[in-house]
């Protein structure tokens, strides 16, 4: 369903934060459920004071691997609004929202996919790594919740982050980023970088010996000096490729979720994106 159609349906319903057929939490607060961290980050900033935002994916958990507990299913069923990304990013969530009586918003539906990002029924879902696309998501959430002013403030902060990236990556010696999996296509497209992904959209795929040789050769030909690993998945593949190709390693966070240490340290989407920018500037030799 196109996002515009979903929003047109939501607009004739009572304001979500006042209840829309959903069930409030134990404290009587209306509940918005986000399927994983970036959507929860947006929802927390757009919802009205007193609303309860639930992130279905616990800190430190890879969202692709999310399995819903009976309590999660009950929370999804009773929520006033569910925010998620479709195209197979979290199949358990997609299946659960099909039987919900209340509104659910597929925030990937209105995003224009990158050329070549569609593979069968699966599309690259990592739209939040382009701040301008996350700003569109904030605008859509604001429309659904009748909180357009709050959404404009969030979008303004994301536009400022986009300017930091454009300025920070405007003058670099290299433009190739070798990543653990194909999570950074939208970021690369936005800022004129070339992504060389060691695996596809799934970070759990393990290449065979011949694939490893091919990947090492590809990294050498690219001229990249750094192979990037991630926070929520094993760095073994990136470490192996970097060692064989004579490159260094660094962490480039796809921000699919925060680790418990990052939560405790007060990190959030913006701070992790700024950390990524610093990492990219160093790896790419930017001035």
Does position 1 have pLDDT exceeding 70, yes or no? no
pLDDT for position 114: 64
pLDDT for position 153: 98
Q: Are residues 141 and 221 in the same domain?
A: no
pLDDT, average across residues 248-269: 94
Terminal alpha carbon distance of the chain = 44
Looking at the structure of the chain, the number of domains it has is: 2
Token pair 């959903």: residue? 22
Which domain-ending residue is among 164, 188, 218? 164
Q: Are residues 40 and 124 in the same domain?
A: yes
pLDDT for position 115: 56
Q: Are residues 24 and 153 in the same domain?
A: yes
Percent of the residues in the chain that have a pLDDT greater than 90, as a whole number: 66
Q: Which residue has the higher pLDDT, 81 or 10?
A: 81
Does position 3 have pLDDT exceeding 70, yes or no? no
pTM for this model (two decimals) = 0.86
| Domain CATH for 238 | 3.40.50.1980
Greatest mean pLDDT range, 60-69, 127-136, 178-187: 127-136
Give the residue numbers spanning the domain of 46.
Answer: 3-164
Q: Are residues 240 and 215 in the same domain?
A: yes
Q: Are residues 20 and 124 in the same domain?
A: yes
The CA distances from residue 144 to 8, 13, 14, 151, 182, in Å, are 9, 9, 10, 10, 30
pLDDT for position 35: 97
Alpha carbons 56 and 69: distance in angstroms, whole number: 10
Q: Are residues 17 and 109 in the same domain?
A: yes
């Amino acid at each position: 369903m196109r996002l515009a159609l979903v929003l047109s349906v939501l607009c004739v319903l009572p304001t979500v934060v006042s209840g829309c057929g959903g069930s409030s939490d134990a404290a009587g607060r209306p509940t918005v459920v986000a399927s994983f961290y970036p959507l929860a980050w947006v929802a927390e900033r757009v919802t009205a004071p007193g609303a309860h935002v639930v992130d279905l994916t616990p800190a430190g958990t890879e969202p692709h691997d999310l399995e819903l507990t009976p309590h999660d299913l009950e929370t999804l069923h009773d929520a006033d609004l569910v925010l998620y990304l479709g195209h197979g990013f979290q199949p358990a969530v997609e299946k659960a929202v099909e039987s919900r009586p209340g509104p659910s918003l597929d925030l990937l539906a209105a995003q224009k996919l990158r050329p070549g990002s569609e593979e069968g029924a699966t599309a690259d879902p990592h739209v939040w790594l382009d701040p301008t696309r996350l700003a569109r998501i904030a605008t859509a959430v604001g429309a659904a919740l009748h909180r357009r002013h709050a959404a404009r403030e969030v979008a303004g902060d994301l536009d400022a982050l986009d300017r930091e990236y454009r300025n920070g990556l405007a003058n670099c010696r290299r433009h190739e980023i070798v990543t653990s999996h194909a999570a950074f296509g939208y970021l690369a497209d936005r800022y004129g970088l070339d992504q060389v992904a060691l695996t596809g959209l799934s970070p759990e795929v393990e290449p065979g010996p011949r694939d490893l040789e091919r990947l090492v050769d590809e990294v050498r030909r690219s001229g990249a000096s750094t192979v990037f690993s991630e926070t929520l998945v094993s760095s073994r593949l990136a470490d192996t490729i970097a060692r064989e190709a004579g490159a260094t390693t660094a962490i480039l966070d796809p921000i699919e979720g925060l680790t418990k240490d990052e939560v405790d340290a007060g990190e959030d989407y913006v701070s992790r994106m700024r950390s990524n920018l610093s990492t990219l500037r160093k790896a790419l030799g930017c001035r």
